[in-house]
Every structure is written in C-alpha cells, then in structure tokens.
Amino acid sequence: MINVTRSYLPDLNTYQSIIKSIWQNNQLTNRGPLVVKLEKDICAKLHLENLLFVSNGTIALQLAIKALKIENEVITTPFSYVATSNALLWQGCKPVFCDIDPDTFCINADKIAACITKDTTAILATHVYGIPCAIEKIEAIAKKYNLKVIYDAAHAFGVKYKGQSILNYGDVSTCSFHATKLFHTVEGGSVTVKDKEIFKSILLYHSFGHVGDAYYTEGINAKNSEFHAAMGLCNLPMLDEFIFERKKRAEHYAELLNNTFITRPKLPEGTEYNFAYYPVSFKSEIELLKVKEGLFQNGINTRRYFFPSLNTLPFLDKYQSCPISEQISKCVLCLPMYHDLEIANIEKISKIINSFA
C-alpha cells in the first residue's frame, strides 16, 4: 500500500548515539539537556528568538490562548484540522468562523472585519498546508481593533515568508511535530512567542505553574521527553533535504496531472514553501469520491484533508455559514507526499487520476 505520508526514521545508530546520554545523566524528562538543545538548534536554524518544545501541537494552541488571556469570541478558519477549533472550545472561547480564500484556502482576510463584534478578542488563523495567510492584512486588522493573533503553523515548519520564518509572525505561532509532519519528534509541538513576558508565562503554564518549590500560577503538563527531543535532533539536520526532495516530487506531480481536471491552492508571492502536502481539488465531491476509490483499489491511500468544514461540526452551538469552505472541503484530496516517494509511484497515481478526467 502506498500511504498518503510516511514518517521518516533516522539511522538507528545515529538515534542511539544521541539517546545514550539519557542513560549517562538519567534524566528522561522535565526539560532535560536534549530538550533544551533541540529548542536552541531550532531557533538557530530558523532564526527565532523564543521557542518552547511541548508535548503536541494542540496543547501548544491551548497554551497560547491561555497566556494571551484570550476569551469570548475568536475569529478563526473553518478549513483546518479539528484541533484548531477544539482548542478554542476547550479554553471556553467561542469560535466565529470566517470563510476562506478560494485561491489559498486560508482564512479570507477581507472578510474578517465583518466578523468582529464587541466580544471579539483574537484571530486564530491556520497556514493551511503550510501556505501563508494574508499576514499583512491580518496584522493590520489586529492592530486596528486591538486583537491578538495566533497562527496555527502546524504544517508550516521550514516555510519562509518575505525572507523570514513563518513562525516569526503573529503574537504566537504554534507548530505540530507529529510523526506525520515534515519535521517530527514522534509526538510533539512548539510555541514561538515574540514577547518575552508572554513566553515566561507559557514556560510556567507548560510545567504545572511552578519552578521547584516556588509556585507562581496554575498550569498543566505540556512537557516533552528526552527521547522525543532526540528524534528531533536526528531529523532537524535533514530539513533542507526533506524540502528539496519533496519539491522535486511536487514538480513531477505538476508535470503529469491533468490540470483541466484538478486545481491546486496558490502560494502568495514571497513564499519559500516546504512542500509538506500535495492537495488537489476536484470540481465536485462525486468526482473526488470516484478518484479516491479508484486509487484505493490500486493500493494507494489518500486523505480528505480537511473534511468536514469545521463550521458544520455537530457539537457546535449553532451553524455558521461558510459556503466556500464547505464546498472546498468536499472536493479536496491530499495525494501521497514524502521525501522518498518513488517517482514510479507518482506516475502511477497521476495516470489513475487522469483516467477519470
């Protein structure tokens, strides 16, 4: 079976050479030396000031919402993984869904202002598939209405926008380092923060709110282990190669696929992309389902990512109409994409898709 993604596993000897230090110092968790080194190495690689390695990307969002004191209404995207809206609900906030841009599939910045009320406190936007949101417009709106901005950058590790890491934008940016991601630590995530005082708050929150016997605030356990950090230390030096190889495969897909049958989201000018995913959009859900089944019958797994549109989730208080997101979510399929996906398999996948055109 050709899966939609495949986790990279480093050379076992390399991993063992790093985790050997765990046996030497006998510290498995609680911000051990490997965790601290991974944070420093990521900051050096991506030119970041403050990054905290946490247990997953969802709790990263929860920490950001808590530290920024966000409450009441938060304008967010309906086209994202459910963790985005769930983090708001879990923190007692009300998601206000703003429809998406049909070109980038990210939140439509031109529609945000119409969603703002006296109860709006923040914007939570996702860089969908690693494609940057309309950052300048969002930042201008946030400044005008005194709103906080969190970017869910779960897909965007390694992406640059106008010469700097995408994680440098917004009040807080969060990442996921789940095993399926371009860069992974098996399970994990990160929080990147501009304001040093906010960063200190998140640092406390992620470790029960205390340091030793000194208790400062309420908190949770969002720490990650030395074993997860070791995986990250193995994988981080491979980042440029991962992106380079994925780019080649994306270009091969683009050459082979029938562009009259499928469309692709567009990259904003100034983007240095990471090729984390290869989404294609069909004209209808019927076409998508036929292609998906045809691929599956030939041993190829794809994913309806993202489906359904989050504004249609059954456990929300009320329905909020987002027609573009609802339509696109029914028509988007992510094709297999990973750095060592065989070219012959890309040709096989493309041939099957084109046969339905």
Q: Are 280 and 304 contacting, i.e. CB atoms less than 8 angstroms apart? A: no
Q: What is the mean pLDDT of residues 276-292?
A: 98
Query: Is 2 within the bounds of a domain?
Result: no
Asked whether residue 316 falls in the same domain as residue 213, the answer is: no
Mean per-residue pLDDT for 226-244?
98
**Predicted local confidence at residue 144, as pLDDT:** 98
Strand (E) positions, the chain?
A: 51-54, 73-76, 94-97, 120-126, 148-152, 160-161, 164-165, 172-176, 189-193, 210-211, 214-215, 271-272, 278-281, 332-335
Which CATH number do you get for residue 156?
Answer: 3.40.640.10
Residue 41, domain member (yes or no): yes
Residues 130, 41: contact at Cβ < 8 Å? no
**Percent of the chain predicted with pLDDT > 70:** 100
Give the pLDDT of residue 299.
98
Say how far apart CA 345 and CA 2 lie, in whole Å: 8
179 & 43 share domain: yes
Is the residue at 5 inside a domain?
no
Choose the final residue of a domain: 213, 237, 261.
Answer: 237
> Averaged over 75-79, what is the pLDDT?
98
- Given pLDDT bands bounded at 50, 70 and 90, which one contains residue 257? very high
Q: What's the CA gap between 29 and 39, in Å, rounded?
A: 14
Q: Looking at the structure, tell me whether residues 220 and 275 fall in a common domain.
A: no
Length of the chain equals 357
Does residue 7 fall inside a structural domain? no
Per-residue tokens: 164 = 């700097």
- The pLDDT of residue 26 is 95
How far is it between the farthest Cα atoms of the chain? Answer: 66
| pLDDT confidence bin for 217, thresholds 50/70/90 | very high
Q: What is the pLDDT of residues 299-343, one digit of tens each?
A: 999 999 999 999 999 999 999 999 999 999 999 999 999 999 999
Torsion, Cα of 164, 166, 169, 174 (10° steps): -140
Residue 218, pLDDT score: 96
- 147-166 pLDDT, tens digit per residue, is 999 999 999 999 999 999 99
Asked, for residue 143, whether it belongs to a domain, the answer is yes
320 CA to centre of own chain: 24
